[in-house]
Structure 1
């Protein structure tokens, strides 16, 4: 590699770190003591074989403070384990169990389950809709604090990014990359106020919307065939004239999305080709760019290049500042950032191969996705 090319790549790494630090400084923080919510809040919890997680998730939802009118609709999306039984045993009238029909042609499972929950709840125009995954654990003021940001900023959607919980080397290497990617590439305040669908980042683990904005965007019917349906939903909100984006959720919720290498590998395979780039060709180009900027300079540093060392240090700094702000583990994990990017390449190759062969599945269902560009998300 020429010295000029190496300097350019190291410069991009430095700019990425500066941009990530600026984004983390500007990322909206929910209030520590949110006011009570004066309107109805409907939580839709789609579940498919979540016997291990659903009870703890429901307990955290029922423990919410400052939400007088709270309804929780659990949508059983074809579970074959004891998920429904666990939900039925929850002794609280605010919890309602609904069984989803098999997804119609053109629908993927999660969008259909979410749409089923909204239809069953009938939240009304003045209410708030919340979508939560079963592996998320909300802290007691999570709903009230998220609604406070929604109302104070005049937004239609907020996506509180839960604190990532990662155990074991593969999880610690891969899971922090999602918030790092959007923090490095997306101007969050500009994106929040922009109606350009391309400026979108969201996390389907925890989404909070006005019911009016959700209906105006067409609801989950507008994203029925999207594997990365969370970002697609935010894009639909923006196309309909709404506003929204990610906010700091590290003090509102926590989530261990995938447990172990096998689950992580399959989870990323189902959607990574679309989440980074949006098409096979764009995904390859995106992976190549990430590798060039955040792997090539560290490789040069190993050969004694000071410019390469600068590029490596910038990558570590960007990764560290994002981890610190989003509640992730900072050290020593950030030092392995080039290894994380290389592992992402491996997962991307697996995802692209599955896409090309038509073998991508998730929880026993085949996947087919609309080829649209998306920002990286962490969506189970």
Structure 2
């Protein structure tokens, strides 16, 4: 093997090893939600729901079963659904006075993406409430102590936004290849002890499935009005808070919260594709990051398979580091357990990275053509 190729293999292994080191640090230091807690603060849960007739009633049932939250209000916005979401939610509420269902008809206002618009409306409807403001996606599932534990962690950390990271349930082959990368992507690159103490916007970690705000801080920075046209409103809102000098923190919540984002490859492509074009700042930035990812996570396993001598040994080391970082992220995300399927998926990590590269390229191409939409709505932020 030529010297440039040997250098490439060693560079890839070094990058993969660095990711494994960061993942090892995070596995022992990331905050974890768990245990019984209680709060007397007002807690307002906001759920934007568009065509969620199958998922929203399950979340409503989980919220009705929450314990340790003395003053709970839940606001659900049926966002112009066409599948009977409103009726399904009303049946699930079953007269519980803590729950209120609202309806919004038509598309979001000009310049707004649908989800930020729905969240902003819910926040307006909760303007009479102080305390803690929680935003939940309708496909999240919660254990009975999830809300109380989240409020406790928010207040213990002294942050203005807590991002409890749900366990990403993956069923189909496409989901198993892609969904664990959501956690792994920051788990192997961002040292959480540093990121959680920092107010640097570039170190923010957020997952819009489950966001827990100090209500006063949320309103002080403009809430979702500040990210009206963003297709990654969760991350942008965390950055807005940090730019104002406020802290945001991420915590592993897999023992108390889980979410199946997408049902199959078509949804995974459309769902990830609507935002991946924003992930690395520009096409040039995306090219640089994807080149580094391929160097770190594709070159070493290829060297392990086809190289000889020291090249193969370097390749095996790099591949082993990649598998280790993937397993560490998945175990932490899940709440501390791994399955045989997780092991198989980790061994297939190079294929996951190839899939991520392909989706990112596809997302950029569709963005250039102005072709992004979600749930039959064209995304304002996808205009070329």
TM-score range, shorter chain: over 0.9
| 1:82 alignment counterpart | 84
Equivalent position of 1:321 in the other structure: 328
Flag the 1:123–1:257 CA change in 2: closer, same or farther, 3 A: farther
Equivalent-residue separation in structure 1 for 2:234 and 2:382 (angstroms)? 14
| Alignment partner of 2:352 out of 326, 337, 340 | 340
Using the TM superposition, give the Cα deviation of residue 123 of structure 1 relative to its aligned residue in structure 2, in angstroms.
Answer: 4.6
Summarize the alignment of residues 143-182 of structure 1 with structure 2, pairs less than 5 Å apart: 143-182=147-186
Q: How does 1:57-136 map to 2 (within 5 A)?
A: 57-89=59-91, 90-91=93-94, 92-100=96-104, 102-124=107-129, 126-136=130-140
Q: How many residues align?
A: 368
1:3 to 3, 6, 27: 6
1:237 aligns with 2:280: no
Contact 1:249–1:326 (8 Å) recurs in 2? yes
Match of 1:375 in 2: none
> 2 CA distance for matches of 1:367 and 1:45?
20
In structure 2, how many angstroms separate the alpha carbons of the residues matched to 1:331 and 1:85?
41
1:219 is matched with which residue?
223
8 Å Cα contact 1:160/1:252 also seen in 2: no
Matched, 1:24 2:22: no
Q: Distance in 2 between matches of 1:123 and 1:32?
A: 30
Deviations along 1:46-84, whole A, 9 cap, x unmatched? 000001111001111111100011001001111111001
Distance 2:174 2:89 in 1: 32
State the Cα distance separating 1:317 from its structure 2 match. 0.5
Please report the RMSD computed on the Cα atoms of aligned residues, expressed in angstroms. Answer: 1.4
Query: Where does structure 1 lack aligned partners over 5 or more consecutive residues?
Result: 372-380
* Segment of structure 1 superposing worse, 360-369 or 205-214: 360-369
Partner of 2:197: 193
Unaligned runs of 5+ in 2: none
Deviates more, 1:148-157 or 1:81-90: 81-90
Partner of 1:353: 365
Q: Does 1:258 align with 2:262?
A: yes
Q: Whole-Å Cα distance in 2 between the matches of residues 153 and 52 of structure 1?
A: 35
Instruction: Pick the aligned partner of 1:271 from 272, 275, 287.
Output: 275
On the 8 A contact 1:123/1:211 being kept in 2, the answer is no
Match of 1:247, SS? strand
**What corresponds to 2:43 in structure 1?**
41
Q: TM-score by structure 1 length?
A: 0.94
Q: State the SS of the aligned residue for 2:201.
A: coil
Matched residue SS, 1:64: coil
Q: Say which is worse superposed, 64-73 or 182-191, in terms of deviation.
A: 182-191
Contact 2:31–2:251 (Cα < 8 Å) also in 1: yes
The alignment partner of 1:185 has SS state of: coil
- The answer on whether the counterparts of 2:371 and 2:382 sit within 8 Å (CA) in structure 1 is no
Q: For the residues of structure 2 that align with 1:95 and 1:342, how far apart are their CA atoms?
A: 44
Structure 1 CA distance for aligned equivalents of residues 284 and 375 of structure 2 = 27
* Aligned 8 A contact 1:42 1:130 in 2: yes
- Which residue of structure 2 lines up, in the alignment, with residue 377 of structure 1? none
